[in-house]
Amino acid sequence: MHTRRDFLQKITYSAMAFPLLAATRQSDLFHFNKEPYDGPVLRVAIMGLGGYGTRVARAMEACKKAKLVGLISGTPAKIKDWRSKYQIPEKNCYNYENFDELKDNPDIDAVYVITPNALHHDQVIRAAKAGKHVICEKPMGLNAQEGEEMIRACNEANVKLLVGYRMHFEPNTLEVVHMREKGDFGKIHFFQGQCGFRIGDPNQWRLDKALAGGGSLVDIGIYAINGARYMVGEEPIWVAAQETKTDPVKFREGVDETILFQLGFPRGAVASCLSTYNMNHLDRFFLNGEKGFAEMQPSTGYGPIEGRTHKGKLTQPHVTHQTLQMEEMASIILQGKKSVIPVDGEEGLKDLKIIDAIYKSCKSGDKLNLNL
């Protein structure tokens, strides 16, 4: 059984409304770094200095509305290296045992939790109790109950809880959503989401149920779940799912290898999605409507996102996803801006409810109703 400290020390070494769309046009996102900015800056501490934390930190170097000012890690060597690279003062550095002391540090506004899934719940609640806004990587928690408790803790502390849905700010994705809202596709009939890759090291935390909370579904399949919702533009009302496992040694009990799932929507649209840890070259969204279509491949990778619609190629410029995300989240937290596609805790909770239902359907074989 891994302890929190054992695990954290190990991983640190490894590395929808149309009016709102009009208010946040893609051009606003592209040119943020070219225009002068003299407004409030969100001062962020990153919790978890592994591979994705490194990517976020690098992306934030291009931000004007958000700045990396603090570090939280269980590995002193990591903190030393990051302090030197990003000029972080020692007083803004914490470990996993003492970061509650953030409550006495007025120089940090928000904590970005980028740790394994099983740690999100407690760390988000502790950061909220310290009076800090929280950004949490997805999945927000291990299940809907955890998500509800995280939302409640942030509400009680009067801090914002956002989820790292970087695709909600990606320009080509927003262009497709904009086209749907304009009616370019007509009534939506079908969505397909294929998300997967062949996972490597069998000893990594993503294949440990106690740390990951599941397998491919919570790691990569969540993109298809969330994508189905923002591409169709409705909340699903039923789900059915089937699990396939070809390697029970690598994918132990509670760690899913491959899951097929279907979602049904109020106006009749259906979604057919695949989540897997055993197939490469799967990163595709397809949306079909009575008047047209949109296809994106790659659809959720770090970019560039590429795609086409019945009107032609998607041509919005690529900007580093995490830079766009942090700029927009800074505006949400500090200025009350509304995002085109929500990124708040309630958005994260809906995905957790669907994940719970998918796992339940896999076990029972039943088609289940959803109430999001």
Find all residues with CB under 8 Å of 80, minimum gap 6, and list them: none
Structure confidence by residue, pLDDT tens digits, 98-114: 999 999 999 999 999 99
Cα torsion 95, 96, 99, 100: sign: negative
For residue 177, the SS3 value is helix
Closest CA to 287 of 194, 196, 188, 221: 188
Q: How confident is the model at residue 35 (pLDDT cuts 50, 70, 90)?
A: confident
Among 223, 230, 277, 359, the active-site one is 223
**Residue 1 clears pLDDT 80, i.e. is over it:** no
Question: Read out DSSP for 339-365?
Answer: PSS--BHHHHHHHHHHHHHHHHHHHH-
**Residue 153 clears pLDDT 60, i.e. is over it:** yes
In whole numbers, what is the pLDDT of the chain averaged over residues?
A: 92
Is 65 a known active-site residue?
no
Contact, 350 vs 229, CB < 8 A? yes
- Give the range among 27-31, 94-98, 261-265, 337-341 with minimum mean pLDDT: 27-31
Q: How confident is the model at residue 33 (pLDDT cuts 50, 70, 90)?
A: low
Among 65, 138, 350, 353, the active-site one is 138
Is 359 a known active-site residue?
no
Per-residue buried b or exposed e for 201-224, using 16+ beta carbons within 10 Å of the residue's own CB: eeeebbbbbebbbbbbbbbbbbbb
Give the pLDDT confidence score for residue 34 in this predicted structure. 67
Q: How confident is the model at residue 36 (pLDDT cuts 50, 70, 90)?
A: confident
- Give the range among 2-16, 221-235, 300-314, 347-361 with minimum mean pLDDT: 2-16
Give the pLDDT confidence score for residue 11 in this predicted structure. 38
Structure confidence by residue, pLDDT tens digits, 336-356: 999 999 999 999 999 999 999
63 or 7, higher pLDDT: 63
Task: For each of the domains in the chain, give its residue range(s) and CATH number, in order of start.
Answer: 4-166 (3.40.50.720), 169-317+345-369 (3.30.360.10)
